[in-house]
Chains A and B, each alone.
Chain A
Amino acid sequence: MIKQGQSLWSDAWRRLKKDRIAMVCLGLVVLFTLLAVYGEVVYFYHHAKDITPAYQKINLDLAYQAPGAAHWMGTDGLGRDVMQRLVQGVRIAYKVGIITSLIAIPIGVLLGCLAGFYGGKVDDFVVWLYSTFASMPGLLFILAIAMVVPENGLLGVYLGIGLTTWVGLCRLVRGEVLKHKEQTYVQAAKALGLGSGRIMFKHILPNILHVIIVTFTLRFPAAVGTEVIMSYLGIGVQGEPSWGLMIDSARMRLWQGMWWEMTFVTLALFLLVLAFNLLGDALRDALDPRLDD
Chain B
Amino acid sequence: MSENTNILEVQNLRVHFGRGDERVKAVDDVSFTVGRGETVALVGESGSGKSISALSITKLAPRAARYEGGRILFNGQNMLDLSEAELRSVRGSQISYIFQEPMVSFNPVFTIGWQIGEAIKLHRKGIDRKAETKRLLKLVHLPERLASAYPHQMSGGQLQRCMIAMALACSPELLVADEPTTALDVTVQREILNLLLELSEKVGLSILMITHNFGIVSDLADRVYVMKKGRLVEEGTTKNVLYNPQHDYTKQLMAAVPRLRPVEQNSLTTENTENTEESK
Contact = CB atoms under 8 A, between A and B. Distances in A.
A273 B106 CA distance: 38
The 8 closest A-B pairs by CB, nearest first: A193-B91, A193-B92, A192-B92, A191-B97, A193-B88, A184-B104, A2-B149, A184-B105
Given A184-B100, A185-B108, A289-B108, 9 more contacts: A3-B153, A4-B148, A187-B60, A191-B92, A192-B166, A193-B91, A194-B118, A203-B107, A207-B107
Q: How large is the interface on A (under 10, 10 to 19, 20 to 34, 35 or more residues)?
A: 20 to 34
B203 interface: no
Given A192-B118, A206-B110, A185 B88 contact: no
A195 interface: yes
Contacts of A33: none
A95 to B, nearest CB: 32
Contacts, number: 77
Contacts of A189: 107, 118
Interface string B149-166: 110111000000001001
A139 interface: no
Contact of B88 (A4, A194, A203): A194
A134 B40 CA distance: 55
Contacts of B60: 187, 190-191
A163 B253 CA distance: 60
Interface of A: 2-6, 8, 119, 183-185, 187-195, 203, 206-207, 289, 292
A173 B15 CA distance: 32
Contact of A289 (B97, B109, B118): B109
B99 A206 contact: no
Contact of B122 (A4, A8, A192, A207): A192
B96 interface: yes
28 contacts: A2-B149, A3-B153, A184-B101, A185-B104, A185-B106, A187-B60, A187-B99, A188-B105, A188-B106, A189-B118, A191-B96, A192-B92, A192-B118, A193-B88, A193-B90, A193-B92, A193-B93, A193-B122, A193-B123, A194-B88, A194-B92, A203-B107, A206-B107, A206-B109, A207-B107, A207-B108, A289-B152, A292-B152
Q: Which of A4, A192, A203, A292 has the most CB of B within 10 A?
A: A192
B88 A195 contact: yes
Contacts of B150: 6
A148 to B, nearest CB: 41
B91 A191 contact: yes
Contacts of B202: none
Nearest to B63: A119
A292 B152 CA distance: 11
B119 interface: yes
Nearest to A183: B104
Contact of A2 (B87, B88, B92, B153): B153
B146 interface: yes
B77 interface: no
B58 interface: yes
B89 interface: yes
A188 B118 CA distance: 12
